Chains A and B, each alone.
Chain A
Amino acid sequence: MILNNWSVRIGGSALVLLVLIALAAPWLGTVDPSLFDAGSRDLRPGMSGEITTLEGEILQHTFPMGSDSFGRDVYSRVLYGTRVSLLVGILCALVAVSIGVACGLLSGYLRWLDGILMRVMDGIMAIPAILVAISLVALWRGSVVTVVIAIAIPEIPRVTRLVRSLVLTIREEPYVEAAIALGTPTWKIMFGHILPNCVAPLVVQGTYVCAFSILVEAILSFLGVGLPPDIPTWGNVMAEGRQQFNDYPHNIFFPGVFLAVTVLAVNILGDGLRDTLDPKMAKRV
């Protein structure tokens, strides 16, 4: 039923393709993305040149997307960058959704905790997301874990609010009241009755968090406060290409295209899932 939706088909297949690219990066004619060669600097897309491996071997290599000002292969860096971007996106979505679900369930079901928890969430929402990310990375140095935490934290309140509002409506449903009358313990009501009925909107919200995280990760790397420059990410590649954008636009163009396509695919998938899983939210009849 889900697969009948064209948005799901298009977004889903684009994402599957990207995941395959990320997994198969070593076999797609790439070289180690950290390799550079002073002789192959600033090559235009499609030109050939030499590249030195860590062992000092010199390889003949075609640069399908050209090379940067260090003589690194942009193609390899972009393909390996796919791994980082998808990983960060998915991890952020998982972290934000799981913490958000826990907070939202507690806040929606245990009324005494609601006030405290929601004020904390309001506090988190008051801080600009990028600022949180910059300060966390400055504190703990850039690594995938830091970046994921930094991006996920500002997303938690959004998920919490969604889950809380769902819980507040679902807990008033007669089937929940019937469960209370049947002597079902509170935790069982939460996980057995309420959570399963939140899944559809959560999946949809999860995809949006994922798309947004991929974008934020690229922004952080571009600003130089994300992952260290030697790790190939789309943001890092673009950051390096920024200086020479007028002369060598390929450094920014190719990672930019990948970034745009990925974010678009995740969002289209999210829209499709919303239409099929959550008919109340769908615009179409």
Chain B
Amino acid sequence: MNVLEVKDLSIALPPGADRARAVSKVSFEVGRGEILCLVGESGSGKSVIAQGVMGLLPKTLPLAAGSVRLEGEEIAGCGEARLRQLRATRMSMIFQEPMTALNPVMTCGDQIDEVLKFHSSYSQEERKKRILGIVEEVSLPDPERMVAAYPHQLSGGQRQRIMIAMALVLDPVLLIADEPTTALDVTTQAQILKLILDLQKKHGTGVLFITHDFGVVAEIAHRVAVLRLGELVEIGTRDEVLKHPRHEYTKMLIGSVPTLKPHGRPADQDAPVVLATNKLSKTYAERGWFGAGREVRAAEDVTLEVRRGQTLGIVGESGSGKSTVARCIVRLVDPSAGEVRVCGTEIATMGAAALRPLRRKVQIVFQDPYRSLNPRRTVAEAIIEGPLNYGVPRAEALERARKLLELVRMDASALQRYPHQFSGGQRQRICIARALAMEPELLVADEAVSALDVSVQAQVLRLLEEIRTRLNLAMLFITHDLRVAAQICDQVAVMSRGRVVEYGPAEEIFLRPKHEYTRALFEAAPGRGFAFGST
């Protein structure tokens, strides 16, 4: 029997939105012990479906039509009291960001206990036993200590385990997981996915797994449902959908996922060196009122080199120091020790005034396209700001901006508009144009495609590649995504805990990783078994 049956579900959007319905006529079912992955890009309505099933829709998004059956019981439109009984006992949900999903002022044990107190009649002794039992089951070390800990004392992966424990403590038949591993590092993600798979198999729980990542889908799904703009475009078993997608949209999405195979383009070993760092280090010291406080070594002895026309990728998990290195190179932060040479000139210790003429040579594109542009300035003003700073006449700067927009495949009419009128991918193009307006020698891309949907990501990656060859730029590409690195980098430096653990030609590192951390990173990359990007 099916645990969850969703039939012709439609959820309305408030008037004035880009479409009439957030979700329109979506039907699917989740069987006992089955994992159904809902995949889609941002705005496809996948999270709204989860909220609809849980009865957690905000008032602005009312359920318009359709039925939601949990174990045969109709729960669409049933009262809040009944829903409250069902939540946690029959259906549970885990979220993307475990830090905000947990209450920061309650211990983890008390939060699991709250679920039990409300939904069961166990005595205090029994509750305690069950809490320890479930915490052990989610493979947390030292359960006694975990139960007594506050959320901020745990790591992201541990917090997500607590969330899973809380969701599964009453053994629900349906678990809804809304991007549960998106905020986690790739190695942690692999562990959490394995945990969900193990527990789900053991308890026979039906899982509705929401994700945007096809690697994760390949890793965990039994069946896959693909959503686009609130409509279900394709549903089938994992192998059907991933290997033989029928719908054009699915084909395009899967084709956009970068492969893990390095591109294998030959690199000119004699090209002039644009950027060289020598034992670059950055230490953050917490200064207290009395004496020195804690020291954090964000980057240590980083020695790298980027040649003209080539791309160096810095790959690592969060906290590995890869962004710190980038910010030191752009001199957004001052390095604590070591050298940064841009076209031969040492800039690590240069004063602000002397540095100014050299700033031109190194430009940066950031991760978040929504925060990278001043919301109160037009696109034209954003792009010409840099050239104006260096004395380029306004008319000439505007002319250059127009050409650059063409280069990043945008219409010149964009110049007069404001950033909020553009999508994330378009904004990222504008940011690239802004950086190129300075005619830099080195372009630093700090997770520049990480916040983008996979199809947009593919376009921006192609654009960066094209610009690199056309302008013969040196590029420093910082990413946590091995697939992206494989596609774009000539050289790769793998960072862990502030240090470069492996550094060499991309092909060498991807095909014959030597360091154990690099190997672990590749092991953890979701969907290794599937050859994406080739369909």
Contacts and interface: CB of A to CB of B under 8 A. Distances in A.
Contacts of B385: 179, 182, 184
B374 interface: yes
A197 B376 CA distance: 7
Contacts of A193: 374
Interface stretch (B18-26, B87-95, B243-251, B360-368): B360-368
Nearest to B358: A183
Given A177-B332, A178-B366, A196-B376, A183 B359 contact: yes
Nearest to A176: B374
A177 B356 CA distance: 14
Nearest to B374: A175
Contact of A178 (B356, B375, B434): B434
A184 to B, nearest CB: 5
B359 A182 contact: yes
Given A180-B332, A181-B332, A175 B359 contact: no
A175 B60 contact: no
Contacts of B434: 178, 182
Contact of B364 (A173, A181, A184): A181
B390 interface: yes
A175 B390 contact: no
Interface string A194-223: 001100000000000000000000000000
B207 interface: no
Interface in B29-72: 60
B389 A175 contact: no
Contacts of A184: 385-386, 389
Nearest to A194: B374
Contacts of A175: 371-374, 382
Interface in B345-393: 356-357, 359-360, 362-364, 366-368, 371-376, 382, 385-386, 389-390
Contact of B386 (A182, A185, A196, A285): A182
Contact of A182 (B371, B373, B375, B389): B389
B389 A178 contact: no
A178 B359 contact: no
B401 interface: no
Contacts of B386: 182-184
B287 to A, nearest CB: 12
A177 B374 CA distance: 11
A184 B386 CA distance: 7
B60 A178 contact: no
B356 A183 contact: yes
B389 A177 contact: no
A123 interface: no
A178 B363 CA distance: 8
A174 interface: yes
Contacts of A174: 366-368, 371-372
B330 interface: yes
A166 B278 CA distance: 37
Interface string B92-135: 00000000000000000000000000000000000000000000
A174 B435 CA distance: 13
A175 B371 CA distance: 6
A36 to B, nearest CB: 55
A178 B372 contact: yes
Contacts of A185: 389
B9 interface: no
Contacts of B382: 175
B431 interface: yes
A177 B332 CA distance: 7
A173 B371 contact: yes
Given A196-B376, A285-B60, A181 B363 contact: yes
Nearest to B373: A175
Nearest to B438: A182
Interface string B292-309: 000000000000000000
A193 B367 CA distance: 19
A177 B373 contact: no
Contacts of B60: 285
B513 to A, nearest CB: 32
Interface of A: 173-175, 177-185, 188, 193, 196-197, 285
* Among all A-B residue pairs, the 7 with the closest Cβ atoms: A182-B386, A174-B366, A183-B359, A174-B372, A175-B374, A183-B389, A196-B376
Interface of B: 60, 330, 332, 356-357, 359-360, 362-364, 366-368, 371-376, 382, 385-386, 389-390, 431, 434-435, 438
Given A175-B373, A184-B385, A196-B376, 4 more contacts: A181-B363, A181-B364, A183-B389, A285-B60
23 contacts: A173-B371, A174-B367, A174-B372, A175-B371, A175-B372, A175-B373, A175-B374, A178-B364, A178-B372, A179-B385, A180-B332, A181-B363, A182-B363, A182-B386, A182-B434, A182-B438, A183-B360, A183-B389, A184-B389, A193-B374, A196-B374, A197-B374, A197-B375
